[in-house]
Chain A
Amino acid sequence: MKPSSWTYARRISQSFCLAVFLWLFLQTEYRGVDQLPYPVSLLFRIDPLAALADFLAPGPFGWQLLWPALIVLLLTILLGRFFCGWICPLGATLDGLGKLVGRGRRAYSPGWRRVKYYLLVALGTATLFGVQLLGLFDPLAIFLRSLTLAVYPAYNYGVNRVFDFFYEHEVPLLSAMVKGAFPVFRDHLMAFYQPIFALSLFTLLIFLTIILLERIEHRFWCKNLCPLGGLLGLCARYALLQRTPQQLCADCRECDSLCRSGAVRPAGHIRSECLLCMDCTGFCPEERVHFALRTGSRGSAGLDLQRRGVLTAMASGVMLVPAVRIGPVTHEQNPYLLRPPGAVPEEEFLQRCVRCAECMKVCIGRALQPALLEAGPVGLWTPLVVPRIGYCEYNCTLCGQVCPTGAIAPLKLPVKQKNVIGLAVIKPDRCLPYAKGIECLVCEEHCPTGEKAIVMEEREVLVNGALRALKFPKIVDRLCIGCGICETRCPVEGASAVRIINEGESRRRRPEPLAGPYG
């Protein structure tokens, strides 16, 4: 059994696409220019699930952005699931790591194949009714999310510790070389600051689970669970690129046991399941197998989705909606639920965000963190501004630039600088001048609005029984944009003495604000 040239071509294509993906991933960082030329969001433009989320969200479909996804769908109708076999970075990772984790050869019930279609139908139906969870299962989102939140931070941590070691211990020759390499790594191959994320471990566990499923059978995820695979499978049902022979040969049943996608069944070749890996063109002992474009489906097997299953999936999708909606409206309950600048209103935001974590990858001030339950039951992995960890950099517009589905609108800088994320509120029981009579102005000093949104007001107060003039910070509501640098930099240990709440955020339709003496 030797791989055919088609197999080699596929492997090259997979490696190339994975390399492009990783290269784009590394480019998705501020490296001195304000407008990112090659953000990894380019990759989501070919993602039909992202397009579906965008299509079903309120507002016009982003044709300009997402037409490549439609091309992928058209090509799939023509050729079959080439995306899964030749392009998908998660598929490539599974193919590449399979040998390492050990590959199962258990023949699973063909019934499992239907799960991905049911998942797609259930998620699609829920999305139609306004609960979008496609991103949780989208393979590109999973891959990017795992990379951003877990793999890349871990990689940076490891590399940095190596550099630390050679910085602290002078090893002849080696130390000089390693130190010389540091700027190259820092400027091109690493994050400038060590990425820090709240859900790293959780995200990693899910990623590892998907990889470990290889131990059950090859491409378990792709064959049984991936809703994008399901969508492409549906499109590929009558693909013109067809396999000959369609059936298992009478004298040899190798395909049945060797096919990684389980697409060659006694009933015939199932185009919806075939990942076009082309291995069968190589392992066929008689070299009978080839692929060619032709019409008609003589001898091939169709999909048996089972009406009952589809209806059940639709019903679960519909039922998901009230299950989610009957809870309290999270962003009204949780005043600390802050979204990136340019985020659309919360309900639409949840419908658009595909949880790809790109905004978190690119955030220059480490302000964006993935949500667990802070944004409600369906807000998992959506981006939150967490100002105690990092702030929104005043002159930066990167998150809006990389968002592939318009959940964060791309804002021009002057607009972004006026976009209100929230409002700073000083806590007098923690703030040094108020609570302890100690002078402090760190929040005022860092406030980035030209006319400062934090002013210092001098008052005479009793401190330890003596009258003393002290300056107190006050928030000017009309100027505060909630960037959060005051909360990040507040020198009080532990909980900050100034916190951003989501009151007055730009994306919310709201009544006239109350005008106080500070504006």
Chain B
Amino acid sequence: MMSCMDRRTFIRRSVLTAVAAAAGSLPVIDLQALPAHAAVTPPLAVRRGADIPFLVRETLGALGGMDRFVKPGDIVVVKPNIGWDRTVEMAANTHPDVVTSLVALCLEAGAKQVRIFDRTCNDERRCYTRSGIRAAVEKIGSDRVSLEYVDPRAYRELAIRGGRAFERWEFYLPAIEADRLINVPIAKHHSIAGLTLGMKNLMGVIGGNRGRLHSNIAESLTDIASVIQADLTVVDATRILVANGPQGGRLQDVRSPQTLIASPDIVAADAYAATLFNLAPEDLPTIVAAARRGLGVMDLKRVQMV
């Protein structure tokens, strides 16, 4: 479900509350986790197909079209996984065609600006290039679309209200301040989280020593996701990595389910993606923790397949 107030209103209110409350005591903005909104059955679209642009269009169409998520004049952040210096076929990064097809839909829906970025693990110049995402985005050739390097100046430490693993963490402001955030992970194996999906992908918009999150990955990721709420999560399972994740490097670890999963509910999208790896959502502690905290629905019987 989409949140009841839009992102800008939310930010403005939070900042005002913070300013009023803090009164000079803390130099941080006090962001309040959004109220739990898992009350009703969230829609979930799953489609298969080899033609990626068509697949993206079809999947989003099932959710009611991109117009439901992006309003004319919106500033949209599309957050793929571009974490690794790996080529497309290695399935370590989100497929460039998935990214550009989503961007095209955002533009059609009237987005004023579409910004694409990720805080990478390898050298970001190499990741942006070798993932194929740089070339694909340049091919769109629109001045409303920008693939940006993360600006180290733009992190701000925010308080995480109700955080279980952390009380505060550094977040990347452009991701928080955008009108819409579209989270586009690729589904991959991961030795501690089990899988890396939508929730894990949000690690790309936070600062700090991210390695520290792994000691309590489920609650940490839930803390992060409670602050940065994606309006739409699109899990790229056109290719998935079943071993040696999250960066892979061997074709024998890659499978091609040619599947796209989309939902406004990040937990539901992740829960469904788990089934592609023959796992139940309950097998993944991150999904369980997020569902418990009311960030979404993990019970696939309670989602509305569209």
Contacts and interface: CB of A to CB of B under 8 A. Distances in A.
B248 A442 contact: no
Interface residues of A, number: 33
B256 interface: no
Interface in A210-230: none
A30 B126 contact: yes
Interface residues of B, number: 27
Contacts of B126: 30, 364, 393, 395-396
A446 B123 contact: no
Contact of A439 (B125, B153, B192, B249): B192
Interface in B27-83: none
Contacts, number: 76
B247 A448 contact: yes
Contact of B246 (A30, A31, A445): A445
A395 B250 contact: no
B212 interface: yes
B122 interface: yes
B122 A393 contact: yes
B216 interface: yes
B209 interface: yes
Nearest to A182: B151
B191 A449 contact: no
A446 B92 CA distance: 12
B244 A445 contact: no
Contact of B244 (A164, A167, A452): A452
A444 interface: yes
A490 B211 CA distance: 7
Contacts of B214: 439-442, 445, 491
A491 B211 contact: yes
A394 B129 CA distance: 15
Contact of B191 (A364, A396, A445, A451): A445
Interface string B172-210: 000000000000000000111000000000000000011
A471 interface: yes
B215 interface: yes
Contacts of B122: 393-395, 448
Interface string A412-451: 0000000000000000000010000011111011101111
A446 B217 CA distance: 16
Of A30, A192, A450, A490, most B-chain CB atoms within 10 Å: A450
B85 A395 contact: yes
A489 interface: yes
A30 B123 contact: yes
Contacts of A451: 244, 250
Nearest to A194: B152
Contacts of B191: 441, 444-445, 456, 471
Interface string B119-144: 00111011001100000000000000
B121 to A, nearest CB: 6
Contacts of A111: none
A449 B248 CA distance: 8
Contacts of B217: 439
A365 interface: yes
Given A394-B85, A444-B191, A365 B215 contact: no
Interface string A383-397: 000000000011110
A364 B130 CA distance: 15
Of B126, B130, B248, most A-chain CB atoms within 10 Å: B126
A164 B155 CA distance: 13
A432 B217 CA distance: 14
Contact of A489 (B130, B192, B211, B250): B211
Contacts of A490: 211
Interface in B85-144: 85, 121-123, 125-126, 129-130
A264 to B, nearest CB: 54
A513 interface: no
Nearest to B151: A167
A32 B122 CA distance: 14
Contact of B249 (A32, A192, A393, A448): A448
Given A192-B125, A395-B126, A445 B215 contact: no
Contacts of B210: 491
A449 B85 CA distance: 12
B121 A491 contact: no
Contact of A450 (B209, B216, B246, B250): B250
Given A450-B249, A452-B244, A440 B125 contact: no
A39 B217 CA distance: 44
A432 B212 CA distance: 10
B192 A441 contact: yes
B130 A164 contact: no
A478 to B, nearest CB: 16
Nearest to A492: B211
A109 to B, nearest CB: 54
Contacts of A31: 125
Of A432, A449, A452, A471, most B-chain CB atoms within 10 Å: A452
A259 B153 CA distance: 53
B200 to A, nearest CB: 11
Contact of B129 (A32, A440, A448): A32
A97 to B, nearest CB: 34
A438 B248 contact: no
Contacts of A364: 123, 126
B216 A439 contact: yes
B121 A446 contact: yes
Nearest to A456: B191
Given A30-B125, A364-B126, A449 B212 contact: no
A168 B151 CA distance: 13
Nearest to A432: B215
A32 B85 contact: no
Contacts of A441: 191-192, 214
Contacts of A449: 249
Interface string B210-229: 11101111000000000000
Contacts of A448: 85, 122, 247, 249
A32 B127 CA distance: 10
B190 A445 contact: yes
Interface string A151-181: 0000000000000100110000000000000
Interface in A21-64: 30-32
B65 to A, nearest CB: 34
Given A439-B217, A450-B248, A491-B212, 12 more contacts: A30-B125, A167-B153, A168-B153, A364-B126, A394-B122, A439-B216, A441-B191, A441-B214, A445-B214, A448-B122, A451-B244, A491-B214
Nearest first, the 5 closest Cβ-Cβ pairs linking A and B are: A491-B211, A450-B249, A450-B250, A442-B211, A438-B215
Interface of A: 30-32, 164, 167-168, 186, 192, 364-365, 393-396, 432, 438-442, 444-446, 448-452, 456, 471, 489-491
24 contacts: A30-B126, A31-B125, A32-B129, A168-B153, A192-B125, A365-B123, A393-B85, A394-B85, A395-B122, A395-B126, A396-B123, A438-B215, A440-B211, A441-B214, A442-B211, A445-B190, A445-B214, A448-B122, A448-B249, A456-B191, A471-B191, A471-B192, A491-B209, A491-B210
